[in-house]
Structures are given as structure tokens and as C-alpha cells.
């Protein structure tokens, strides 16, 4: 069963289970349509396989077969500048 990861691993855009903008390879690396097409030209940067539209799981099946909540973000060279900088931590955590 597909994991249905919740985000683009390049730009970290949210990709809910109902999104028609999610693209995956056979290993379920997950990207938004913009990154898949404009940064990777339809080829997975991890395995070299095709990036294709991720199927949409019917909403009535999500309760029994929920989408993953695990966010995956990788430092692909083509993603430089695609993600916003991380939020600063709390002031008490600064050394």
C-alpha cells in the first residue's frame, strides 16, 4: 500500500492525500508537480526513475488506511533555495 507522504521532499510543500500535485517514483520518493517538472524534469533525483502522478486514495478509505505523517526532506542540489529557512528556535535554546 502506498505510504502517501505528506510533503515534497524538495521544497517541503504540503501534499495532502487528495492532492493532484503529488508526484512519486517506484520507491515512493515524493515531490510536488512544480519540483518534479521544473527542477528534476520528471526524473527522480534519488533513483533515476520516472516521477508520475500519485494516485488519490478515496476519502472513505483514509480512516482505515491513513496517509503517512512522516515528513521527508532531502538536500538535493536542485532544491537549494526552494525551502524557506528554518524557523529560529526559542531564545532559551540559543547557546
What are the tens digits of pLDDT across the range 35-90? 999 999 999 999 999 999 999 999 999 999 999 999 999 888 888 766 665 555 55
Task: Say yes or no to pLDDT of 5 above 70.
Answer: yes
Residue 77, pLDDT score? 83
Task: Say yes or no to pLDDT of 91 above 60.
Answer: no
In order of their start, the domains of the chain are: 1-69 (3.30.40)
Residue 67, pLDDT score? 94
Give the per-residue SS3 of the chain. CCCCCCECCCCCCECCCCCCCEEECCCCCEEEHHHHHHHCCCECCCCCCECEECCCCCHHHCCCCCCCCCCCCCCCHHHCCCCCCCCCCCHHHCC
pTM of this prediction exceeds 0.95? no
Amino acid at each position: 500500500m502506498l505510504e502517501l507522504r505528506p510533503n515534497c521532499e524538495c521544497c517541503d510543500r504540503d501534499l495532502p492525500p487528495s492532492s493532484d500535485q503529488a508526484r512519486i517514483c517506484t520507491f515512493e520518493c515524493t515531490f510536488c508537480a512544480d519540483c518534479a517538472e521544473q527542477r528534476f524534469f520528471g526524473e527522480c533525483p534519488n533513483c533515476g526513475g520516472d516521477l508520475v502522478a500519485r494516485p488519490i486514495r478515496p476519502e472513505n478509505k483514509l480512516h482505515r488506511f491513513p496517509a503517512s505523517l512522516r515528513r521527508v526532506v532531502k538536500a538535493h542540489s536542485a532544491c537549494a533555495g526552494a525551502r524557506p529557512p528554518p524557523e529560529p528556535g526559542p531564545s532559551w535554546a540559543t547557546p
